[in-house]
Structure 1
Amino acid sequence: MTRIVHLSDLHFGFHRAALAEPLLARVNGAGADLVVVTGDVTHRGRRGQYAQAAAFLSRIRAPLMVVPGNHDVPLYNLAVRYLAPYAGFRRAMGRHLTPVRQVGGARVLGLNSVDPFAVQRGIIRKGEIGRLIGGLDPLATNIVALHHPLEHLAQVDKELARRAPQALSRLDRAGAQIVLSGHLHVWATGAMLEQTAHPGVLQIQAGTALCGRLSDRQNEFAVLQIDGPMLTVERHIAPMNEPDFRPPEYEHFSRESGIWVAHQPPETPIVPGATETAFSTA
């Protein structure tokens, strides 16, 4: 059995400061073998925001891997954005933009989906799909972690990352089983499974763990418990008008037949967070 905490969209610099300690306590109490952060650790990629994010993440007791999000490159400092977009990220989070970790029965492969030449839209670079496929472990549960989703719910009005459909199709054929992402501030698991043409890949799209934007309505994170072909997802939710996370809600999935099956009705995603303008949070 392997336990993985999935955090995304912390947005230090525009975060719910009062929720940081409750979040840290939940994460450290989760008994995780690994904590995966799928980008937007900062709000605007500024040095002080990276210092806040690094201070928080340094207190997580489990092993940690972090991939960048579009908010982790400077928005207004164009010289840095185009010439050294990941300098701040590497200084605070470590030099690897595409880390790989093996824990228990799971292999987690990071992917940098950020495009410094676009404000929000991501990109899957040439050669990256092949790198991921080459890194899959046929004896493990293979998980790809990136910021931008590889597929959107029908209600989401943003553009997919470039080459996202090709990436999802090829990863499905190659045997990847789970994709962790963020970006939209919209939780989606079973709802994605209902609409996808690739049920061999369970897409776990996280909400925002700490962002203070009221239109998101809640903060949340997830704990994945992987036991062979069985997966339990603990979803920890803190509504914006409550000071702490509620007791977890549970979702159960299995892939004994080679494709994922949900053991509960699909959730109803809260979509407004996905419809902001180019220069707002998501």
Structure 2
Amino acid sequence: MTRIAHLSDLHFGFHRSELVEPLLDRVNAARADLVVVTGDVTHRARPAQYSQAAAFLSRIEAPVMVIPGNHDVPLYNLPVRFLMPWRGFRRAIGPQLTPCRQIGRVRVMGLNSVDPSAVQRGIIRDGEIARLEHSLDPEAMNIVAVHHPLEHLAQVDKELSRRAPEALARLDRAGAQIALSGHLHVWATGAMLDQTAHPGLLQVQAGTALCGRLSDRQNEFAVLQIDGPFLSIERHIAPMGQAAFRPPQHEYFSRESGVWVAHQPAEEPIVPGATETVLSTA
């Protein structure tokens, strides 16, 4: 049995400072084998924001792997954005943009979907899909960790990453079983499973762990517990205006037949946060 905590979209610099300690306490209490952070650790990739993010991550007791998000490259400093986009991330967070971790029979592979030439929209680069296909462990539960989702709910108005449909189809065929993502500040699991043409790959799209944008309505993170073909997910939610997390909600899935089956009705995603303009937050 393996426990993975999934955090995304911390947005240090535009974060709820009063929720930092409760989040750390709850993450450390989860006793995860690995903490995966799927991007946007900063709001504008400024040195002070990276310092805050690095200090937060250093206090997580479990091993941590972090993938960059579109907010982790400078927005306004154009020379750095185009010539050295990863400088701040590598200095503060770590040198790897596509880390990989193996924990027993669970393999987590990072995918960097950030496109410095675009502000919001991601990209799956040439060769990255093949790299992941060749990195899959046929004996393990294979998880892809990426900032931009590989598929969007129908009501989301942001552009999907370039080559995302190809990546989703090929990774599903190759045997990847779970994709962790963020970016939209919208939790979606069962709702994605209801609409996708690729039920062999469960998409776990995280809400924002710390962002202070009021239209998101809540902050949250999740803990995945993997036991063979069975998956349980704990959603830890802190409503905006409350500096504490509620008792976790639970979701259950199984993949005994080779495709995922949800054992509860699909959630109703809170989508308004996905419609904000790029220069305000997302």
TM-score norm. by structure 1 comes to 1.00
Q: Distance in 1 between matches of 2:23 and 2:76?
A: 30
Q: Report the identity percentage.
A: 79
Q: Which runs of 4+ in 1 moved over 6 A?
A: none
The equivalent of 2:134 in structure 1 is 134
Q: Distance in 2 between matches of 1:68 and 1:208?
A: 14
Alpha-carbon contact 1:30-1:223 (below 8 Å) kept: yes
| Pair 1:254-2:243 in alignment | no
| Pair 1:225-2:225 in alignment | yes
| Pair 1:64-2:89 in alignment | no
**Any stretches of 5+ residues in structure 2 without a counterpart?**
none
Alpha-carbon contact 1:146-1:180 (below 8 Å) kept: yes
The equivalent of 1:76 in structure 2 is 76
Q: Displacement of 1:279 after TM fit?
A: 1.4
The equivalent of 2:37 in structure 1 is 37
The equivalent of 1:200 in structure 2 is 200
Alpha-carbon contact 1:33-1:63 (below 8 Å) kept: yes
The equivalent of 1:51 in structure 2 is 51
1:206-264 deviation per Cα after TM superposition (whole angstroms, max 9, x unaligned): 00000000000000000000000000000000000211000000000000000000000
Root-mean-square deviation (Å): 0.4
The equivalent of 2:14 in structure 1 is 14
Q: Displacement of 1:151 after TM fit?
A: 0.1
Q: Distance in 1 between matches of 2:280 and 2:67?
A: 21
Q: Distance in 1 between matches of 2:193 and 2:33?
A: 26
Q: Displacement of 1:104 after TM fit?
A: 2.3
Q: Distance in 2 between matches of 1:280 and 1:141?
A: 37
The equivalent of 2:115 in structure 1 is 115
- Report the number of matched residues: 282
**Any stretches of 5+ residues in structure 1 without a counterpart?**
none
TM-score norm. by structure 2 comes to 1.00
Q: Displacement of 1:113 after TM fit?
A: 0.2
Say which is worse superposed, 270-279 or 225-234, in terms of deviation: 270-279
| Pair 1:239-2:230 in alignment | no
What amino acid is the match of 2:10?
Answer: L
Alpha-carbon contact 1:190-1:266 (below 8 Å) kept: yes
What amino acid is the match of 1:69?
Answer: G
What amino acid is the match of 1:158?
Answer: K
What amino acid is the match of 2:77?
Answer: N
Q: Distance in 1 between matches of 2:251 and 2:223?
A: 10
Q: Displacement of 1:31 after TM fit?
A: 1.0
The equivalent of 1:92 in structure 2 is 92
